[in-house]
Amino acid sequence: MEVGKLTVNRRTHTGKGVARKLRARGRLPGVCYGNTLEAPIPIDFDHRDFKSSLDPDKRRNTVITLSVEQAEGAAQSIVVMVKDYQLHPLRQELAHVDFVAVDLEAPVVVDVPVEFHGKAKGTVLGGQLHVVRRRLDVRCKPVDIPASVRVDITELDTNGVIHVSDLQLSEGLEAAVPGHLTIITCSAAPAAEEGEEGEEGEAAAAAS
């Protein structure tokens, strides 16, 4: 199965019993819905084909063209993204997938990983990094969704902060959260405890 493409069957029967039988055959139940569809479409598909259709970097943010096989007539083509999924409570395996139909020209909001690059200036002096956000909500057209947002922390000094507003985002991409929110900080090295300093001083005095 090609990345970004998935052939599915249109289900005519629903219910827990039907879903259980599908999973026993290596297929997953799912549903496709969205403003561009007249009504939600119950579907099922091969779980291995589904995993192969996902971009290895973008994962659930992959834009997928569903080819919906129907009992009568030609297959229906729908551009979708993964909206949600459910796992089996015991085996932690995929049990159900929700797809939402998307318009390639209309922006969507998705969350993507934040990747930090470089050695922060403040850590050279013993500063400690504190990551506040490892994922970020962004807004863009589906085809412009990045695999991650890259953050250069090289110039991050002691007591420095990188906010959402400081990020250099690519063209067509914007943060979907307030700019004042913190991404990462570098705090000063912790000072020695006063009690420990006193004990060291007393020990030095006794030794002299």
* CA 108/CA 141 separation, integer angstroms: 6
Mean pLDDT value of segment 37-57: 94
27-45: pLDDT as tens digits: 999 999 998 898 999 999 9
* CA 30/CA 122 separation, integer angstroms: 49
* CA 192/CA 124 separation, integer angstroms: 18
Q: Which domains does the chain have, with CATH numbers?
A: 5-101 (2.40.240.10), 108-187 (2.170.120.20)
* CA 172/CA 146 separation, integer angstroms: 11
User: How much of the chain exceeds pLDDT 70, in percent?
Assistant: 90
Judged against a pLDDT cut of 80, whether residue 50 lies above it is answered with: yes
Cβ neighbours of residue 191 closer than 8 Å, sequence gap 6 or more:
none
Judged against a pLDDT cut of 90, whether residue 206 lies above it is answered with: no
95-129: pLDDT as tens digits: 999 999 999 999 999 999 999 999 999 998 899 99
pTM of the model: 0.81
